[in-house]
Chain A
Amino acid sequence: MIEMTLYGRGGQGGVTLAKLIASTYFNRGKHVQAFGVYAAERSGAPLQAYVRIDDAEITNHNQVRTPDHVIVLDRTLIAPNILDGHKPDGWILLNTPQPPEAFAEMFPGRNVACLDATSIAVAHGLGTRTVPIVNTTLLGAVAKVLGLAASPDAPRTRSAPGRPEALRTRDLPRASDVPRTSDVPKAIGLTFKDVTETLAQSKFGGANLEAAREAFESVRLEKLPGAAAAPKARAPGAPPKDLLDADVGGMPAIRTGNWATRQPQRHQLTPPCNHACPAGNDIQAFVQALQRNDATEALSILLVTTPLPGVCGRVCPAPCMDACNRRIFDESVNIRDLERYAADHGELPPPTQPRREERVAVVGSGPAGLSAAYHVARLGYPVTLFESDKELGGVLRTGIPAYRLPRDVLDREIRHILSCGVEPCHKRVTRADLVELTQRFAAVFLATGLQQARGMDLGPEADGRVIEGLDFLDRARRGEESTKQQEVIIVGGGNTAMDAARTALRLGARHVRIVYRRSREEMPAIREEIDEALEEGIALDELVQPLRIFREKGATMLTCQRMKLAEPDADGRRRSVPHVGEDSHFDLRCDRVILALGQSADVGILPEGAEVREGEALVGMTAAPVFFGGDFASNEGTVSAAIGSGRRAALHIHRTLTGEDLFPTPPPVAGPEQITMHIFEHAPRHDGRAIPPAARRVSFEEVRRGLVDDPVFHPAEDEANRCFSCGVCNLCDRCVHYCPEGVLLRCGEEFQFDYGQCKGCGVCASVCPRGVVYMTEL
């Protein structure tokens, strides 16, 4: 008879390994027996499993006391006591990264086989996210060790390459009734084919087989030097405890924490939406507040980082939604409409007064200027906001049409910014003024945006028929434009192009067409904007470059060149190059051409020789430092980027004036692999409502209506409940409820692990939906 003892921990698969070994011999026609010694402590608890193999029927039912072979599944259980009863010429198989020689002192004279099964199992993805399972891996090593143990000459070297697949099989003698220590361990040679067969029977898939193969090939075998001590019987246990003396409730207390090889810890990660938000909004937090239907709380969280949630909730391209982990599961959370909901339904806080002496000037009241003014004011400084126009808002007012951003929303948020201690001053700031401002203010922030439009030469006939996009939008807003019955062509693929096209349509154009030199894929405009423009009946000609305007038979025509895509340029977008061929040119009728090709900054306001660099202040050239932000400093081109830029500038100004650093240092991002997706239920996204295309074409009424509550449905609350809260604990208590030992407690927002009792089973980490609980090696 061959007997084996396996030492492992609950949850590692030790009993299954015993059963797999037994199955392998059962397939070879042997009588087998495999069982574990179970305890009440379950996962993490040290346990033993036993295997018996014989030619005759097995009638022993007691535990194995004098094993031929010993297998240790957990490196922390490798200790001299595993030799108890072990027959000196048997094998000891250890799951350890150490080589056999490392155990020369512990197991002198023994046959020791070592394998880093844990690393192999992890590399093959075996087990759960929290606990690797090593049993199938070790089966490969068992086959190698027992294959060799059967051969006439046990190995002295590390490997035996070129060994034939089928080893000599030797029949076993009948077992003696009372084990004798002089028994020579015997084994039937196993080959890797046996392992393949057993794993296939047990429906263990490809990764298990590959791991077993790697183990079969890489297990290191060594007969250690020295004389093996005679087998020693298991030491008798301590005398039983009288339950009447103490601890009447149960077993004598066991400090199960001593068994742990791993421990759970908690950390907070950065949700991917927060990471992606150019404004730096705490999206996860405000969405959680909306789960509680608390729009005011949600708004107050947004107001920490942005003064313009109502604006962003309408016009932001929402990179947060592209980063949302839920996108992999079903659809991203509709964060943009939730932000709009919070802004439109939450209550704004009361006005505040400056509490510091140093005055700060902000030049330009676009999104960057508004954001900087707001954040500087929130830090307690009195702020003066300079704007050349008679209304504040910059491009938000002049460049974004009312059907996307209603004026009352913009006015409401500007009023709130002013209520925080911002004084508007309607005055154009020149270079000379800037020098003077630096003498009156402790710091100056410059965000005058992009004033110089990029042009395009369309020949002499272009005069009077071509207008720049932002000019067109501004004139339209003032009621100075009409496109009645005109054929209008827009050149460009950004948001200004979309806005100009849709505005031209609303002003009565007969037909509006957008021409863009690359394909729709490369268009920088917000996707929904493009969709809505097309819905409204605007034509889009991709891969078209306008060349020249000419007159023919009383009509104005635009000659265009067909383009094709080439390799990507520096910013990753594919370039377009002229298409050569018969149909490479064509003409389009047009009355007006609106150029929306982007703008560049007018640096004429700066002192001679000054350079604009993102994130750097101009120090020393003027009486007070000058900071830059928004599109003026870096052409990000979105409102949220401008808001972030203004906020960073405010923190920069504060650091310069006081030395205090308030820049946040966010933890690592929670990726999709951190999310336990299978516990969530699929739920379609709640999309905001919109007015129908036919109604849009004739009015500047706001197209999108956002998430609208009614007496029965609360789409905002439902949508907020789709949020995974990636990497941030939302007190769901799954870890507490699933802890099999009840050693994880929560009091308020504090979690307490009883490490004295925690066995490190990893259940809490595996059930955490959001990657907050994780396991560390001890």
Chain B
Amino acid sequence: MGKALITGNHAAGYALSVCGEANRSARGCVAGAYPITPQTEIVEYLRGFNFSRGRVVPVESEHSAMAVCIGAALNGARAFTASSANGLAYMVENIFAAGYYRLPIVLIAVNRTLGPPWNIWVDQGDSLMFRDAAWIQFYTESHQDLVDTVLLAFRVAEDPRILLPVCVALDGFVVSHTLMGVELPEQAQVDRFLPPCHVPHRLRVDHPATVGGLTWPKETAHHRRQIQSAMERVPEVLEEALDEFEKVFGRRPDGALRVEHAEDAEQMLVACNTMARTARRLVESRQSEGEKLGLIKLKMFRPFPRRQLREAVGKAKRLGVLDRNHSAGSGGVFWGEVAATFQGRSDLVVQNYIVGLGGGDVTPEVLGMIADDLQTRMTAGEPIWQEVGV
């Protein structure tokens, strides 16, 4: 297909569409569709795609959009949808249902601030709201990363060792509405990369069954434990999927995390999404000036890649965790996870910086101030609120 000039939303819509179309020889695909800024162009794109065996179902709310996906996936279709912010909040009941039903649904979350006060710009608080819902979560840093990760998401979700839904997040406006060049996968390549979707517990006329009925505490705990086991298998399955991706497409997207300058870094920034790309620019610049600054880009938030993260920090003495989200009464959500990962490491400073909330424009200069602060820290303090301009 070659490189196309396309917005993030249309790239996401394209990726979902070709993945859905790839299941045409099996039980087809279904999308529940409801618009919300800044995600609207994705469902618009889906409505315009001519599926051989698939349906885009316009519904009256996000809650129903996910309900459509649940019903479709329970019938063995490849199911997907997209939403943002308060739309995701309205969807949450069924988001949990999809996770606990173990349905390989793919949801694109175009990150946007939860209101009120009303704000349409990027903030990861919306997808982090359902971090505990038995969903795998990927945070993507660019148009290309987004497209590639959508393909990986279906492959991982539908793997018989996993069978969990996947949320792929991107920055509202910063990616969703920005025009950039992207290598779009061709249908034939996607057909090769994605095996037909198989949901082993799908509903069958010849084998009537009820799913999600009443259970006792023992069964429920067992059910959660099974989900945890599946989550623990994700890194391995993801690596396999990346190998296969490289074979088909000739490039290797980032995995659970991506580390830069771990070998000599004394300070490392931990970031995700486009903020990680901005941080990378800063790191390259500082490295060229001799400063020992490194970067860990966290792409996978669920399951949280604790093992890989512990390996990634190397000899670093300080971690600065950047959070474009805020868990009221605590601090950044990523910080909480990173701090828990390094419990007992008294030699490592894990400092939280809350930056770019509500879509604040995070420039290399802003991150430079954070790096300067981190460099001089001997101990970690309470989360620091780094204010940025519009």
* Residues of chain A whose beta carbon lies under 8 Å from any beta carbon of chain B: 18-19, 22-23, 26, 31-38, 40, 58-63, 65, 176-178, 234, 236-237, 243, 250-251
Q: Are B180 and A38 in contact (CB under 8 A)?
A: no
B365 located at the interface, meaning its Cβ lies under 8 Å from any Cβ of chain A in the complex? yes
Residues in A with CB closer than 8 Å to B277 are 59-61
Contacts of B155-174 to chain A: CB distance below 8 A: 171, 173-174
Contacting residue for A26 out of B181, B364, B390, CB 8 A: B181
Whole-angstrom CA separation of A18 from B284 in the bound complex: 29
Whole-angstrom CA separation of A37 from B38 in the bound complex: 12
Residues in A with CB closer than 8 Å to B363 are 62-63, 65
Q: Which residue of B lies closest to A48 (CB)?
A: B390
Min CB–CB distance B19 → chain A (angstroms): 25
* Residues of chain B whose beta carbon lies under 8 Å from any beta carbon of chain A: 5, 38, 116-118, 120, 142, 171, 173-175, 177-181, 274-275, 277-278, 280-282, 284-285, 361-365, 368, 389-390
Would you list 9 pairs from A and B whose C-beta atoms are within 8 A, ordered by A residue? A23-B179, A26-B5, A32-B180, A33-B178, A61-B171, A177-B364, A178-B281, A178-B364, A178-B365
Q: A19-B179, A35-B179, A62-B362 are in contact. List 4 more A-B contacts (CB 8 A).
A: A22-B179, A37-B173, A58-B180, A178-B365
Min CB–CB distance A50 → chain B (angstroms): 9
Q: Are B5 and A250 in contact (CB under 8 A)?
A: no
Q: Are B364 and A61 in contact (CB under 8 A)?
A: no
Q: Are B181 and A237 in contact (CB under 8 A)?
A: no
Residues in B with CB closer than 8 Å to A178 are 281-282, 285, 364-365, 368
Q: Are A61 and B274 in contact (CB under 8 A)?
A: yes
Q: Are A32 and B179 in contact (CB under 8 A)?
A: yes
Min CB–CB distance A252 → chain B (angstroms): 10
Residues in B with CB closer than 8 Å to A18 are 179
Whole-angstrom CA separation of A65 from B280 in the bound complex: 19
* Residue picked from A19, A36, A61, most chain B C-beta under 10 Å: A61
Whole-angstrom CA separation of A462 from B280 in the bound complex: 111
Contacting residue for B116 out of A19, A22, A177, A250, CB 8 A: A250
Q: Are A62 and B389 in contact (CB under 8 A)?
A: no
Contacting residue for A59 out of B117, B181, B281, B361, CB 8 A: B281
Q: Are B178 and A35 in contact (CB under 8 A)?
A: yes
Q: Are A177 and B179 in contact (CB under 8 A)?
A: no
Residues in A with CB closer than 8 Å to B38 are 38
Residues in B with CB closer than 8 Å to A37 are 173, 390
| A22-B5, A177-B284 known; A61-B179 Cβ under 8 A | no
Min CB–CB distance A290 → chain B (angstroms): 40
Q: Which residue of B lies closest to A38 (CB)?
A: B173
Whole-angstrom CA separation of A176 from B274 in the bound complex: 18
Min CB–CB distance B233 → chain A (angstroms): 33
Q: Are A62 and B180 in contact (CB under 8 A)?
A: no
Residues in A with CB closer than 8 Å to B274 are 61
Task: List the 10 shortest-distance A-B pairs measured between CB atoms, nearest first.
Answer: A177-B285, A35-B178, A61-B274, A34-B179, A62-B363, A177-B281, A59-B277, A26-B5, A19-B179, A63-B361
| A26-B5, A35-B173, A36-B177 known; A234-B389 Cβ under 8 A | yes
Q: Are B281 and A35 in contact (CB under 8 A)?
A: no
Q: Which residue of B lies closest to A20 (CB)?
A: B179
Q: Are A251 and B117 in contact (CB under 8 A)?
A: yes
Residues in B with CB closer than 8 Å to A31 are 181
Residues in A with CB closer than 8 Å to B178 are 33-35, 61
Q: Are B5 and A251 in contact (CB under 8 A)?
A: no
Whole-angstrom CA separation of A177 from B175 in the bound complex: 20
Residues in B with CB closer than 8 Å to A40 are 118, 120
| A61-B277, A234-B389 known; A35-B117 Cβ under 8 A | no
Min CB–CB distance B237 → chain A (angstroms): 29
Residues in B with CB closer than 8 Å to A26 are 5, 181
Q: Which residue of A lies closest to B363 (CB)?
A: A62
Whole-angstrom CA separation of A60 from B279 in the bound complex: 10
Q: Are B278 and A33 in contact (CB under 8 A)?
A: no
Min CB–CB distance A37 → chain B (angstroms): 8
Q: Which residue of A lies closest to B176 (CB)?
A: A35
Whole-angstrom CA separation of A38 from B9 in the bound complex: 15
Whole-angstrom CA separation of A177 from B363 in the bound complex: 11
Residues in B with CB closer than 8 Å to A62 are 278, 361-364
Whole-angstrom CA separation of A37 from B173 in the bound complex: 8
* Residue picked from A23, A38, A251, most chain B C-beta under 10 Å: A38
Residues in A with CB closer than 8 Å to B177 are 35-36, 38
Q: Which residue of B lies closest to A27 (CB)?
A: B5
Whole-angstrom CA separation of A176 from B180 in the bound complex: 20
Min CB–CB distance A463 → chain B (angstroms): 85
Contacting residue for A250 out of B118, B282, B362, CB 8 A: B118
* Residue picked from B118, B175, B363, most chain A C-beta under 10 Å: B363
Min CB–CB distance A11 → chain B (angstroms): 16
Whole-angstrom CA separation of A19 from B278 in the bound complex: 22
Q: Which residue of A lies closest to B275 (CB)?
A: A61
Residues in A with CB closer than 8 Å to B174 are 35, 61
Q: Are B5 and A23 in contact (CB under 8 A)?
A: yes
Whole-angstrom CA separation of A37 from B363 in the bound complex: 15
Q: Which residue of B lies closest to A34 (CB)?
A: B179
Q: Are A177 and B389 in contact (CB under 8 A)?
A: no
Whole-angstrom CA separation of A640 from B180 in the bound complex: 68
Residues in B with CB closer than 8 Å to A234 are 389
Whole-angstrom CA separation of A60 from B274 in the bound complex: 8
Q: Are B173 and A59 in contact (CB under 8 A)?
A: no
Residues in A with CB closer than 8 Å to B285 are 176-178
Residues in A with CB closer than 8 Å to B281 are 59-60, 177-178
Residues in B with CB closer than 8 Å to A236 are 389
Whole-angstrom CA separation of A79 from B287 in the bound complex: 40
| A23-B5, A177-B364 known; A38-B278 Cβ under 8 A | no
Min CB–CB distance B293 → chain A (angstroms): 12
Min CB–CB distance A40 → chain B (angstroms): 6
Residues in B with CB closer than 8 Å to A23 are 5, 179
Min CB–CB distance B94 → chain A (angstroms): 28
| A35-B179, A177-B284 known; A237-B389 Cβ under 8 A | yes
Residues in B with CB closer than 8 Å to A38 are 38, 120, 173, 177
Q: Which residue of A lies closest to B283 (CB)?
A: A177
Whole-angstrom CA separation of A176 from B282 in the bound complex: 10
Min CB–CB distance B50 → chain A (angstroms): 19
Min CB–CB distance B102 → chain A (angstroms): 35
Min CB–CB distance A317 → chain B (angstroms): 53
Whole-angstrom CA separation of A251 from B281 in the bound complex: 33
Min CB–CB distance B104 → chain A (angstroms): 31
Whole-angstrom CA separation of A22 from B179 in the bound complex: 8
* Residue picked from B281, B284, B361, B368, most chain A C-beta under 10 Å: B281
Residues in B with CB closer than 8 Å to A176 are 285
* Residue picked from A38, A62, A251, most chain B C-beta under 10 Å: A62
Q: Are A60 and B179 in contact (CB under 8 A)?
A: no
Residues in A with CB closer than 8 Å to B117 are 243, 250-251
Min CB–CB distance A38 → chain B (angstroms): 6
* Residue picked from B117, B118, B284, most chain A C-beta under 10 Å: B117
Whole-angstrom CA separation of A250 from B173 in the bound complex: 21
* Residue picked from B118, B180, B278, B361, most chain A C-beta under 10 Å: B180
Q: Are A61 and B278 in contact (CB under 8 A)?
A: yes
Q: Are B280 and A32 in contact (CB under 8 A)?
A: no
Min CB–CB distance B31 → chain A (angstroms): 25
Min CB–CB distance A561 → chain B (angstroms): 71
Residues in A with CB closer than 8 Å to B364 are 60, 62, 177-178
Q: Are A177 and B5 in contact (CB under 8 A)?
A: no
Contacting residue for A33 out of B173, B179, B389, CB 8 A: B179
Residues in A with CB closer than 8 Å to B120 are 38, 40
Residues in A with CB closer than 8 Å to B278 are 59-62
* Residue picked from A22, A23, A59, A63, most chain B C-beta under 10 Å: A59
Min CB–CB distance A721 → chain B (angstroms): 32
Min CB–CB distance A172 → chain B (angstroms): 16
Contacting residue for B181 out of A32, A35, A243, CB 8 A: A32
Residues in A with CB closer than 8 Å to B280 are 59
Min CB–CB distance A48 → chain B (angstroms): 10
